[in-house]
Amino acid sequence: MPTFYRNPSILLQSIETWLAERLQTAGNKGGIVGLSGGIDSAVVAAILKRICGDRMLAVIMPCHSQPEDRLHAELVARRFQIPLHTVDLTAAYDILISALSAETDTGNALARANLKPRLRMSALYYLAQEKNLLVCGTGNRIELTVGYFTKYGDSGVDLLPLGDLIKGEVRELAGFLDIPAAIIEKPPSAGLWQGQTDETEMGVTYDELDRYLALGQGSEKVRDFVERARARSEHKRNTPPVCRIG
């Protein structure tokens, strides 16, 4: 483990204390998280189970997703005995795409892909309001810094428990929590399309990004990617600008 990674035991204690305080202050009885089959959502779900018991919910929301992702999500739910609900968004996605494409279709693959996390956000908030839960996001420090998330999609959450953790720290925390190895070792992917992986799409590795954000060390390629991505995605991290009159 690189020396700049923080101790997973201390990270877990800090996150649990912070989450418990936030949930209590908000008057909500627990948290809800979308369980994607990836490492970040597995860690958040496991932590919620530890502090909320059955006063939480994990939701699997397939939408033209890879079958392996659902199997991994179910594996996590079984491992930690997590309350689980499945909402298949495939039909809703297809209907909406059909309606949107009736007038115009430029073939923008990213616009179509980003519709999936936005549908998932809507489903999570519906269930959260029904059950008096706060929506817990799964974004980590790397994703938040470079804007590797969908605006009003996976960024549409109430709390970000992993928002200060670089990717390697999430992996270390996953191992500490005994997340299944198959999930820890799989290539990180947002699942936006078949075969998509985070590192291939970004063109840099998480290890390189971890070192740059933690220590400021990295190649010119890595520094250029981070700073350009940070500037380009600034609008994602801010509330919409208001036109002030007078």
Write out pLDDT tens, residues 91-121.
Answer: 999 999 999 887 666 668 889 999 999 999 9
Q: Please give the model's pTM, rounded to 2 decimal places.
A: 0.94
Residues 6+ apart with CB under 8 A from 37: 60, 66, 68, 69, 70, 71, 72, 73, 76, 183, 191
How many domains does one find in the chain?
Answer: 1
Q: Tell whether 229 is covered by a domain.
A: yes
Query: 1 in a domain, yes or no?
Result: no
> Phi, psi at residue 56, to the nearest 5°?
-155, 170
In a domain, 85, yes or no: yes
Residue 81 confidence (pLDDT) above 80: yes
Average pLDDT over residues 121-148: 97
40 part of a folded domain: yes
Bridge partners for 85 per DSSP = 59
pLDDT band at 28 (very low <50, low <70, confident <90, very high): confident
Q: Given pLDDT bands bounded at 50, 70 and 90, which one contains residue 198?
A: confident
Q: What is the mean pLDDT of residues 179-194?
A: 82
What local confidence, expressed as pLDDT, does residue 153 receive?
Answer: 97
Q: 24 pLDDT exceeds 80? A: yes
Quick one: DSSP state of residue 187?
P
- Say what the pLDDT of residue 110 is: 87
- Reading the block at residue 14, the tokens are 């800090």
For residue 29, pLDDT beyond 90: no
Among 191, 158, 203, CA closest to 39 = 191
- pLDDT of 191: 65
Q: What is the mean pLDDT of the chain?
A: 94
* Residue 211 domain-assigned (yes or no): yes
Classify residue 42: in a domain, yes or no. Answer: yes
Q: Classify residue 179 by burial, with Cβ atoms within 10 Å: 0-12, 13-18, 19+.
A: buried
The pLDDT score that the predictor gives to residue 94 is 96
How much is the pLDDT for 2? 86
- pLDDT band per the 50, 70, 90 thresholds, residue 126: very high
* CB count in 10 Å sphere of residue 230: 14
Residue 148: domain span: 8-235
Query: 75: burial class by Cβ within 10 Å (0-12, 13-18, 19+)?
Result: middle
Lowest mean pLDDT among 35-44, 164-173, 198-207: 198-207
* E strand map for the chain: 30-34, 56-60, 84-86, 133-135
Query: Does position 190 have pLDDT exceeding 80, yes or no?
Result: no
- Percent of the chain whose predicted confidence (pLDDT) is above 70: 95
Round to whole Å and give the CA distance between 55 and 145.
31
CATH number of the CATH domain containing 147: 3.40.50.620
In a domain, 90, yes or no: yes
Domain presence at residue 75: yes
The pLDDT of residue 223 is 96
